[in-house]
């Protein structure tokens, strides 16, 4: 869900942070309307983009923490992991943040927002709906195989991703409020009616998720995962793919990354199996696909229940919401051969 930046985020404050935290003086910054839960700007010098600014909303990352301070600290861990993978492990496809002059990788610019700075990657940035041809899937599978074999120092305290839905409490609360009007905006009541008509399905998916979690249990084969290796987080650079947005990094089943690359063909993940010797766990594949779907449904419900104004993105988000409620696949892009 794309959105303009909050009015409280001023260019002068971001430029000031560039100067004070990273000792960089830039000519200007330009807002880049991309992604959800974070806001982005390109920082320019002599008319050319040199750096990429990310401002994270500490209220919109439930997979990291429920409180702002907890989320800020968790982001710091994620950024340290990305930095270690790029600079110490040598995974060039990992786009890591740049350290400030005092050694930190991100800066608290207000109670609600933090800021990180990245090198500007010259290449084609993907979008959520982009197809994933076979050649790109192969490159990404090779990169993920390397990531899943990587080790990071224990002091980084990489979180273990629980076999649960981070947004469960919000989703259950919404399901319990279906007999009362939702009054956030124009889409609130239509959203309530849509969820009411499909509440049995949503509850059934939650039950299935819990049964899958019990079946999977714990595993000694958990690995370091990115969590969202979809085209919206890929950049085609001249010397290879780059994978961005490492705030979702966690220890989990390999299938947390792999379900997105499975196109239904029995051999679509053969390359990964050959590189790692791992056999795909179908229950884990289903768990992470279902978790993604329920997470999206919860996020849409939260947005439609909250105060909102009509924008060009709302109709698109509404259609995606109905698609998921109707049992539509949550595959983030059209996987196809070629």
Tell me: the pLDDT tens digits for 73-84?
999 999 999 999
pTM for the predicted model, two decimal places: 0.91
Interval 327-333 mean pLDDT: 61
Topology, domain 168-220+281-325: Methane Monooxygenase Hydroxylase; Chain G, domain 1 (1.20.58)
Domain boundaries, the chain: 1-120, 168-220+281-325
Q: Distance between CA atoms of 242 and 47, rounded to whole angstroms?
A: 24
Give the model confidence (pLDDT) of 102-144 as tens digits: 999 999 999 999 999 999 999 998 887 788 888 889 999 999 9
Residue 331 has pLDDT above 90, yes or no: no
Topology match between the domains 1-120 and 168-220+281-325: no
What single-letter DSSP state applies at residue 51? E
Hey, what are 332's tokens? 């983030």
| Mean pLDDT of all residues belonging to the chain | 91
Burial code (b: 16+ CB inside 10 Å, e: under 16) for 60-84 equals ebbbbbeebeebbebbbbbbbbbbb
| CATH superfamily of the domain spanning 1-120 | Phosphorylase Kinase; domain 1 (3.30.200.20)
Q: What is the mean pLDDT of residues 38-66?
A: 92
Tokens of 203: 């509850």
What is the per-residue pLDDT for 330?
Answer: 59
Copy the structure tokens of residue 51: 């750096």
Looking at the DSSP assignment, which residues form a beta bridge with residue 113? Answer: 57
Q: Which helix (H) or strand (E) holds 32?
A: strand 28-32
Q: What are phi and psi of 173, to 5 degrees?
A: -65, -40
Rounded CA-CA distance 233/336 in Å is 18
């Amino acid at each position: 869900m794309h959105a303009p930046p909050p009015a409280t985020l001023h260019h002068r404050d971001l430029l000031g942070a560039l100067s004070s935290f990273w000792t960089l003086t830039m000519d200007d910054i330009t807002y880049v309307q991309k992604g959800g839960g974070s806001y982005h700007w390109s920082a320019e010098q002599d008319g050319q983009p040199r750096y990429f600014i990310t401002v994270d909303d500490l209220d919109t990352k439930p997979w990291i923490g429920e409180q702002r301070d907890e989320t800020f600290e968790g982001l710091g861990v994620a950024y340290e992991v990305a930095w270690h993978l790029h600079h110490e492990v040598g995974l060039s496809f990992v786009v890591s943040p740049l350290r400030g002059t005092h050694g930190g990788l991100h800066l608290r610019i207000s109670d609600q927002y933090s800021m990180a700075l990245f090198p500007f990657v010259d290449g084609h940035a993907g979008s959520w709906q982009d197809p994933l041809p076979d050649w790109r899937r192969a490159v990404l599978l090779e990169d993920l195989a390397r990531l899943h074999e990587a080790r990071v120092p224990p002091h980084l305290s990489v979180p273990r991703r629980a076999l649960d839905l981070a947004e469960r409490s919000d989703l259950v609360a919404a399901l319990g409020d279906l007999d009362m009007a939702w009054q956030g905006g124009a889409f609130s009541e239509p959203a309530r009616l849509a969820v009411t008509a499909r509440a049995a399905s949503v509850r059934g998916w939650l039950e299935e998720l819990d049964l899958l979690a019990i079946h999977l249990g714990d595993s000694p084969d958990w690995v370091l995962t990115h969590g969202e290796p979809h085209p919206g987080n890929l950049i085609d650079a001249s010397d290879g793919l780059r994978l961005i947005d490492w705030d979702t990094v966690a220890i989990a089943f390999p299938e947390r990354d792999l379900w997105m690359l499975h196109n239904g063909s029995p051999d679509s993940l053969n390359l990964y199996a050959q590189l790692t010797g791992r056999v795909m766990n179908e229950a884990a594949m289903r768990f992470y696909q279902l978790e993604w779907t329920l997470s999206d449904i919860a996020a849409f419900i939260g947005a439609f229940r909250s105060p909102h104004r009509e924008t060009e993105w709302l109709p698109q988000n509404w259609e995606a919401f109905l698609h998921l409620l109707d049992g539509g696949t949550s595959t983030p892009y059209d996987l196809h051969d070629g």
